[in-house]
Chains A and B, each alone.
Chain A
Amino acid sequence: MAKVIVVTSGKGGVGKTTSSASFATGLAMRGNKTVVIDFDVGLRNLDLIMGCERRVVYDFVNVLNQEASLKQALIKDKRCDNLYILPASQTRDKDALTEEGVERILNELKEDFDYIVCDSPAGIEKGAQMALFFADEALVVTNPEVSSVRDSDRILGILAAKSKRAIEGHEPIKEHLVITRYMPKRVDLGEMLSVEDVKELLSIPLLGVIPESESVLSASNSGVPVIHDDNSPSGQAYEDLVGRFMGEDIPMRFLDVEKVGLLKRIFGT
């Protein structure tokens, strides 16, 4: 049975789309047939991060309005055989999203795919509510700072109250915490919340911690999900995260300040 996973956060700019792109890529690289849907209608970004923006002809809203078939709108990733992207519309707004329409598309996708990753827009308005409504599991993306944690808390409340599973009284959505843009150095200086602080506040299981890294920005700009970058700590952290999601026991990395070796200290980087 296909699983619908929403990547959500409440707050904007915390790394939902970056996480969606790398998470979906990671699932696909492990042989799962995966589709990632951009729910941010009107502000499409996922196609840029995935490097397929020029190949967008039909989009999510076209399929919702039955102006195009799913087959026409799905874009096959150029690096991964098992990965497809359903881009958002640039010209429409979130009113185009209807519960019936989204459900119809998800049901159609469930026949072909193992995982359906929904990249939620920021906020708690319709777009975000539609992205999470049909979810079976949720990745809650949080930065280690108070406003981001507060917004994630709010989203967790909505997952527990306004999702289809909650309304129909089924087993609740399985929640996973993803902490992004983590900087151990600033945590040590007391400028940033620690992993423990965030875990304590949100009280949901931790799936992964993604360290802040320059490679994330360059990966976004070049349209290659950072998980493809084996040399990047962020890419490795996403790799670990996907492994944990698939049930592997992988210890957390990049939580402590990197020890600078003697040679590195002498010769620099």
Chain B
Amino acid sequence: MQTDVKESGQVYKHQNTAVELKGSVFTLPILQLRSTSIQEVDYELSKRLTKALQFFQNAPVVIDLQALHKTEDELDFSALLRVLSKQALIPVGVRNGTSQQNALALSSGLAVLKGGAAQDIPEVTAVAGQGVQKPREEKPEKPIPTLVQSAKTKVINSPVRSGQQIYATNADLIVTAPVNPGAEIIADGNIHVYAPMRGRALAGVRGDSNARIFCQNMEAELVAIAGNFRVFEESVPVNIKSQAVQIFLDGEHLVISPLK
């Protein structure tokens, strides 16, 4: 899944009418379809969404059809919509479809979005020289580059106490005071803690697997990146306890390495 920004600047405004048309900016998750097999899509979605800690509950999504250009098989839109609704996703439109796919999408009640912003994604830029029309090569081995809008950073300067939860939406989180047992700090981006980290830290909760956690004094109860978590039931291992560490994802594996 990728995150993208849809934009429309124009405002159509009339005084004293029942409706007003305005433009606004929304961040929508993009679902990149790489298979026309609804079964495979269903399986993969259930697997990923359980990990994503319910953050996609009732989330609007845009379906990206770019990767399906080269397949001959027709996509069964009604079956796809059923699978998405089963996963509590709300499809709002498609992008990068062929004219045939677009027509099918429209007849299924989905909007066809002109995916201009796709040019911003590095992966697409890389193949742009070879002509944008050419279907993108599948690179399942490489991690999908993610466009994270971390324009702001949330900074917390007072202790985060048991029972408190801090969430940095679309941002990094920096905490300069202790995070106590039973407290939870969550960010869509990276997390930095410049004091004892004794609670729970969850970075990249909306699926950013490049997010990292940096702790000056590691004593956490739980750490998680993009849904991959590790619980320290007794205590953190002796070699990292109270040490400065960084935590990142290597594939699906959570790596905790000392900062030297």
Chain A residues with CB under 8 Å of chain B are: 150-151, 153-154, 156-158, 160-161, 200-201, 203
Q: Which of A150, A157, A158, A161 contacts B181 (CB 8 A)?
A: A150
Are A154 and B182 closer than 8 Å at their CB atoms?
yes
Given contacts A201-B180, A203-B177, whether A160 and B158 have CB atoms under 8 Å apart is yes
In the complex formed, the residue of A with least CB distance to B159 is: A203
Determine the distance from Cα of A151 to Cα of B182 in the docked complex, in whole angstroms.
10
Q: Helix, strand, loop or mixed for chain B's interface?
A: loop
Instruction: Give the docked Cα–Cα distance between A151 and B178 (Å).
Output: 16
Q: Which of B164, B177, B198 contacts A161 (CB 8 A)?
A: B164
Please, how many residues of chain B have a CB less than 8 angstroms from a CB on the other chain? Answer: 14
Residues on B with beta carbons closer than 8 Å to the beta carbon of A203: 159, 177-178
B195 (CB) vs chain A CBs: closest residue: A203
B177 contacts across to A, CB distance below 8 A: 203
Q: Which residues of A contact B164 (CB under 8 A)?
A: 157, 161
Chain B residues with Cβ below 8 Å from A160 are 158, 161
Structural contact, A157 and B163, CB atoms closer than 8 A: yes
A139→B182 CA distance, assembly (Å): 22
Residues of chain B within 8 A of A200, CB atoms compared? 196
Within 8 A of A (CB), among B158-192: 158-159, 161-164, 177-178, 180-183
**Bound Cα distance A156, B181 (Å):** 13
The CA-CA distance from A192 to B198 in the complex, in Å, is 19
B158 near A153 (CB under 8 angstroms)?
no
Residues of A within 8 A of B159 (CB): 156, 203
Q: How far is the CA of A203 from the CA of B162 in the complex (A)?
A: 13
**Which 4 pairs from chain A and chain B are nearest by CB?**
A157-B161, A153-B162, A154-B162, A153-B161
B178 close to A157 (CB less than 8 A)? no
On whether the beta carbons of B162 and A150 are closer than 8 Å, the reply is: yes
